[in-house]
Structure 1
Amino acid sequence: MFLVRFLEQQNKVLETKWSLLQEQGHTVTRKSLEPLFEAYINNLRRQLDSLVGERGRLDSELRNMQDMVEDFKNK
């Protein structure tokens, strides 16, 4: 859920930047945009990897806490 919101915000930022560039009359070729988009995509992939790792850690922590609660219930 957080990732979706983050990506939507990033998309809005890119749309705004693109509009500004078009208004200023800059001619931007596809070739010059490719490295920017590749860097942006790589950054998003790193963030996604980090979030996936964090989720795994939190899932494990949740299971441990649930086990502890069950142990206390059974005592």
Structure 2
Amino acid sequence: MEELTSIREQGLYQTGILFVCQREDIKSVQPADWIDPDFAHVLLNAKEAGVDIKARSCKVALNGITLGEQISVQI
């Protein structure tokens, strides 16, 4: 994330992070800052720098996994 933030701050490229949540019933995701505060801090810095942060649910079946709906990322 720090590298993506640096690239974005230089203005050379648009950067992004995609969280893929392998379940259908999820409505939003957020960093577990009580478990890994460093990750949460770096993710917040990335968002503030303009890194595009998105998440998608998945439809899981016996014959495969496909991307589902876009879901909210709470930072």
Which structure shows the higher helix fraction? 1
Q: TM-score, normalised by structure 2?
A: 0.24
Larger Rg: 1
Q: TM-score, normalised by structure 1?
A: 0.24
Which structure shows the higher strand fraction? 2
